Amino acid sequence: MQTIYTDVLVMGAGLAGERAAIEAAEAGFSAICLSLVPSRRSHSSAAMGGMQAAMGNCAKGEGDCPDVHFADTVKGSDWGCDQEVARMFADRAPVEMRQLAYWGVPWGRVVPGKGTYYKGGKLFDKEEKEENRGLINSRDFGGTAKWRTCYVSDGTGHSVLYTVDNVCAKLGVEVHDKTEAISLITDGVTCFGCVARCLRTGELRVYLAKATVIATGGFGRIYPGTTNAVICDGGGHITAINTGLVPMGNMEAVQFHPTGIVPTEILVTEGCRGDGGTLLDVNEERFMHIYEPEKQELASRDVVSRWMTHHIRQGKGVPSPYGEHLWLDIRHLGEKHITGKLREVYEICTSFLGVNPIHQLIPVRPTHHYSMGGVRTNKDGHAYGISGLFSVGEASCWDMHGFNRLGGNSLAETVVAGGIVGKKIAEFLQGAEVTFNSAVIDAEVKKQQERIGNIIRCKNGTENVYKVRKTMQDTLHKGANIFRTEQGLTECVKTLQETLERARKVGLKSNGLGVNPELSAALKIEGQVKMALMVAYGALNRTESRGSHNREDYPARNDRDWLTRTLAYWKNEKDDLPTLEYEAATQIFHIPPGDRGYGKSQIIQAENIPAAPKG
Amino acid sequence: MSLPLTANHPTLNARRMDGVLDWAQMLTGVGLIAFMWAHMLLVGSVLLSPEIMNSIAAFFENSGMAQVGGPLIFALFLAHFVLAARKIPFRLEGQKTIWEHAKLIHHADTWLWVVQAASAMVILIMGAIHMWAVLSDLPIVALKAAETLQRNKWWLAFYLLLAPLVHVHLGIGLYRIAVKWGFAGRAERRGLKRFATLIVLVSVGISVLTLFRFWFMVA
Amino acid sequence: MARNLKFNIFRYNPQDPESTPHMETFSLEETDSLTLFIALNRIREEQDPSLQFDFCCRAGICGSCGMVINGRPGLACHTKTKDLPDEITLLPLPVFQLVGDLSVDTGSWFRELYDTVESWIHTSKTFDPNAQEERMEDAVAEAIYELDRCIECGCCIAACGTARMRPDFLGAAGINKVGRFLIDPRDERTEQDYYEILGTDMGIFGCMGLLACEDVCPKHMPLQNQLGFLRRKMGITALKNFFGK
């Protein structure tokens, strides 16, 4: 068995993981990133739209500052976020954008002079100042008071990921791609690294590290239709859940993006609406201005998705063989804009739908998109429950997003949090000594070898992993979607519990030799169903509506009882339900809970909110 | 900026000659294209009348240009071969690779390269024979050429093969130089390809007509 | 009337001593808007769970799913079966190390490339977190992004005759990558530094101009123009060096 030692081990080589690794490497520590795919194929690359940071350089962003960004983020989260963390994020974001510019990101820049822009289908004028020529530009995104989203044409995530990966190459941060972590090595107190499976040969390897970071992104693939890449399967989360010690925060907070295309569920960027695209119904009429007179198409994602679903329920959806949908209209933006700043959208529409968005409408509907929940960490990114384990990016519940994340805040989170947490990891490593216990390591390896052997030899049963996965996905889709009810969730939990039993009996049909994809899926299925149960059970118990979590039977946001964060543990391996605990959503209130200014406004007031500290 | 891994540093600098050699490959190619077109027009003038061809030939011979220029062109011809051969696989393994590659990807320009490399080998041999035959038997007179062809019809077959091959090689080479050096961009490529095809067709046409003019020339 | 599609797929699992390279045939009924992403997953889930292939974003953005589709390197995720004949032949990309079936190791190849061409901004400046960002013209930023759009799927490398014959050739993706830094005003490398990387048969002078890269690039990168521009630029440097000494 090959054993590899490093100071910092990062699972995942997307933006958050690599950014954190860079901080550690710059502080003189060795760092290795594990990745299912070559680092540049990580799902960060698919984020087209941009990163929110209060630069305030463009005309429509004038007067912007981290305070406004912070306020937008808290409102967007429906007061579910940790305000201290959101504050750190908003303050640091502009510096991080400049850091990226220094590293080589070709940010869109301010071009002085008069120009026009669309909002709600209407044309408006704006004028950029000469003094801001060449500074980082911003575009409009949903749920924000100012134009704040820094962008690189239509490939922000791609460009930033390539730049950050270049810096990793420069600093000697190693990326072991086609390597999948399958379990953490821990003695119950400290994390020693992980057991990983090589996806070139199928062999197991041991990685030992003083600090281990889970940065594996979202877990959207537990839903049947999602904008997430196929690698966003929760593999990293599962390793943490299986320790029984690390809680997942707010797993019920699942974001549905308003504009996934129908069929294939590929995302078209929020930039479409930010740049003035509109949503139309079966009669090709706009409707968002009726529900949201102020923000219209650019209300936060949870709100727009909810109204879209509501509108379809009103019988205004467009029928199709793939179910009802609505239209996204960007035709008025013109060919130059569509094939320029929205080229990726143009390519997706033409190659996946056979639709030319310059002349035709794009079929869209709300589609699973983002997991606000994840490995719960403190504000340093240190996971709850185990020392030496960190988490960052979408994989984590650092918790700046609460119950709804704003467009452009996740991509920004990857690098901003990566930078902040990376620094904290470097601090943690200064003088930190770890004694690796070989008995613990050997026991974990043996356990994994046995697990793999059992699955290959069908010792536990012969359930088909793909069928089990399908059942889990469909169940979750049915029970824990945009609108949720007690009845639906109860049924969902029950079916998922049965599915968990089946998942424990999965056995392979194929021989399991080498990089067997069936084995990869089978190794994860039990953990995935556990995660699905955390989502559904958390949603069932949260008897209020907040952000993206909508209970039709509890439509009010209940700040009196539910200004909390769900912590879901899987305490014993053989449990068939997660153990839920709760903690206060935030220790410090810079902004007391109030009205978001969009969305519905039914609120059950909290009784005593601690006053905001000075500053 | 790769660091030398071996101790023989001076030879590593040879890599810095690659650019110059690439220029030389291109320029010798362009020179040969220019020569071949002039050659085609010279010999093709027989279509107008044998006297015109004879007098042009006489001019080159009397001024000594044929005696000096001929070997020079031969040198250019060999130089171009040596330069371009840097890119042609001579080991069986390499040949197998490129052949499999061409068969694998359905791509016209890749096949054109295979044609070019293969025609180069044939032209190398046949061109050398041709040059030796002509330059060792000066002067060039239309009637003499006609007699040679008519006396041995293998010569006709020889030229019927060589002439089209040369022009195809020329046409592809011209196209390749233009796209490789960026004289023609993405927008011009299609037009360039058509233009090159046209030139090849016209050149092959003139050459074949010329050959038949000799074939049917009556003493 | 739904077509019955015949898939000829290359099969070989190097980790299975009993496996030998061969073609295997699967058939699948065509459904509406069927892509190779959906088709291959269906084959794996319904017919042979050991079938190896790579997909990631499945939206034509990440570059994972390059393979040779009926003789043409391309991205499987955005290839619709309705644009293909009844018989579809799928092979792994050549040049790259085979992992198994349709899966190849592009990661190692590109990782080595980053080191070879030092694909990062070389600057003597240090980052000042308190200073305003350095200004840049938007047109320059857009020109850089135009070259930065490459998704490193490896199709251009697999389609390249030179890359198949010489393992050290940078290929269109590699040469284009250098071009991206060459036009970036933040990178302080000199003409000679770039010539060190590009001015050899490993770089731009190895290119034989077959243009398969240009023709197969799924992102329609301006490779022909870029290769032509760099050959002229490096050619001029070569002459300067040759006659200058």
User: CA of C215: which chain B residue's CA is closest?
Assistant: B107
Q: Which of C116, C199, C228 sits opposite B16 (nearest CB)?
A: C199
Q: In whole angstroms, what is the distance from residue A53 CA to residue A39 CA?
A: 25
Q: Does A156 lie at the interface with C, CB-CB under 8 angstroms?
A: no
B9 pLDDT higher than 60 = no
Residue B1 lies in a domain: no
Q: What is the CATH number of domain C4-104?
A: 3.10.20.30
Of residues A276, A265, A264, the one with CA closest to residue A342: A276
Mean per-residue pLDDT for B156-170? 91
DSSP chain C: ---EEEEEEEE--TT-TT---EEEEEEEE--TT-BHHHHHHHHHHHT-TT-----SSSSSSS-TTEEEETTEEEESTT-BGGGS-SEEEEE--SSSEEEETTEEEHHHHHHHHHHHHT-S---S----TTSPPPP--HHHHHHHHHHHT----SHHHHT-HHHHH-TT--HHHHHHHHHHHHT-TT----HHHHHHHHSSTTTGGG-----HHHHH-TT---HHHHHHHHHHHHHHHHHHHHHH-
Instruction: Say which residues have a Cβ less than 8 Å from residue A362's Cβ, sequence separation at least 6.
Output: A259, A261, A268, A327, A328, A329, A330, A345, A349, A353, A355
pLDDT > 60? residue A611: no
Q: What is the pLDDT of residue B10?
A: 52
User: CA B21, B107, B19 angle in degrees (round to 5)?
Assistant: 10
Under DSSP, the state recorded for A322 is T
DSSP SS3 for A124: strand
CATH number of the domain bearing residue B36: 1.20.1300.10
Q: What are the pLDDT digits (tens) for A441-460?
A: 999 999 999 999 999 999 99
ipTM value for the complex: 0.96
Q: Which two tokens stand for residue A614?
A: 């000075």
Report whether pLDDT(A36) > 80. Answer: yes
Judge whether A353 and A261 are in contact, CB under 8 Å.
Answer: yes
Say which residues have a Cβ less than 8 Å from residue C237's Cβ, sequence separation at least 6: B19, C191, C192, C194, C195, C199
Within A224-353, residue ranges assigned H as helices are 235-241, 271-274, 288-291, 301-311, 334-339, 343-348
Q: Which of A176, A273, A311, A382 is catalytic?
A: A273
Size of interface A-C (CB pairs under 8 A): 201
Is the pLDDT confidence value at B144 over 80?
no
Please, which residues 44-83 of chain C have a Cβ atom closer than 8 Å to chain B? 68, 70-73
Chain A interface, best mutation among C120, C146, C180, by max A CB count within 10 A: C120
Nearest residue of C to residue B20, measured between CA atoms:
C238
On chain C, the residues whose CB falls within 8 A of the CB of A267 are 59
**Residue in A87, A176, A237, A257 annotated catalytic:** A257
In this complex, is the C-beta atom of B92 within 8 Å of any C-beta atom belonging to chain C?
A: no
pLDDT at B4: 53
Count the domains in chain B.
1
Who contacts A356 (Cβ-Cβ below 8 Å, separation ≥6)?
A349, A350
> Phi/psi at A357 (nearest 5 deg)?
-70, -10
pLDDT attached to residue B140:
73
User: How do residues C73-114 score in pLDDT, each as one tens digit?
Assistant: 999 999 999 999 999 999 999 999 999 999 999 999 999 999
- At C156 the pLDDT is 96
Asked if residue B180 is part of any domain, the answer here is: yes
Q: Which residues in chain A are closer than 8 Å to C125, comparing Cβ atoms?
A: 102
Closest CA of chain C from A132, distance in Å: 9
Beta sheet of A396-397, edge-to-edge order = A396-397, A374-376, A248-249, A564-569, A579-584
Alpha-carbon gap, residue B69 to A99, rounded angstroms: 64
Distance CA B207, CA B213 (A): 10
Active site residue A310: no
Q: Is the pLDDT of residue A187 over 90?
A: yes
User: pLDDT per residue over A323-355, tens digit each?
Assistant: 899 999 999 999 998 998 888 899 899 988 889
pLDDT at B1: 45
Q: How far is A158 from chain C (nearest CA, A)?
A: 8
* Residue numbers in C near A321 (CB within 8 A): 32
User: Percent of chain B scored above 70 by pLDDT?
Assistant: 93
Residue A615 has a pLDDT of: 42
So what's the pLDDT on residue B214? 81
Q: Select from A548, A524, A280, A565 the least CA-distant residue to A398.
A: A565
> C36-79 pLDDT, tens per residue?
999 999 999 999 999 999 999 999 999 999 999 999 999 999 99
Structural domain boundaries of chain C? 4-104, 118-242
| A497-541 confidence digits (pLDDT tens) | 999 999 999 999 999 999 999 999 999 999 999 999 999 999 999
Interatomic CA distance for residues C213 and C226, integer angstroms: 11
Q: pLDDT tens digit string along A207-227?
A: 999 999 999 999 999 999 899
Tell me which of B200 and A269 has the higher pLDDT. B200
Q: How many other C-beta atoms lie within 10 A of the C-beta of residue C236?
A: 14
Q: Is A369 a catalytic residue?
A: no
Residue C1 has pLDDT above 80, yes or no: no
Mean pLDDT, all residues of chain A: 93
Using the beta-carbon criterion (under 8 Å), do B20 and C68 form an inter-chain contact? Answer: no
Please answer whether residues A65 and A24 qualify as being in contact, where contact means their C-beta atoms are separated by less than 8 angstroms: no
Please report the pLDDT score of residue C93 as a whole number.
96
Residue A331 CA neighbour count, 13 Å, CB half: 12
Most C CBs within 10 A among A33, A34, A109, A350, hence the mutation to make, goes to A109
Is residue B145 in a domain? yes
Strands (E), A179-308: 179-186, 191-198, 204-214, 248-249, 254-261, 278-280
Contact B98 C161 (CB under 8 A): yes
Question: Which domain covers residue B184, as residue numbers?
Answer: 10-215
| CATH entry 1.10.1060.10 includes domain C118-242 | yes
Q: Spell out the residues 6+ positions from residue C203 whose beta carbon is closer than 8 angstroms to its own.
A: C170, C174, C175, C178, C197, C234
pLDDT of residue A403: 96
Average pLDDT, integer, range A577-606: 90
Cα–Cα distance, C188 to C210 (Å, whole number): 32
pLDDT mean over B161-190:
93
Identify the pLDDT of residue A559: 94
Give A365-420 pLDDT, tens digit per residue: 999 999 999 999 999 999 999 999 999 999 999 999 999 999 899 999 999 999 99
Interatomic CA distance for residues A469 and A522, integer angstroms: 9
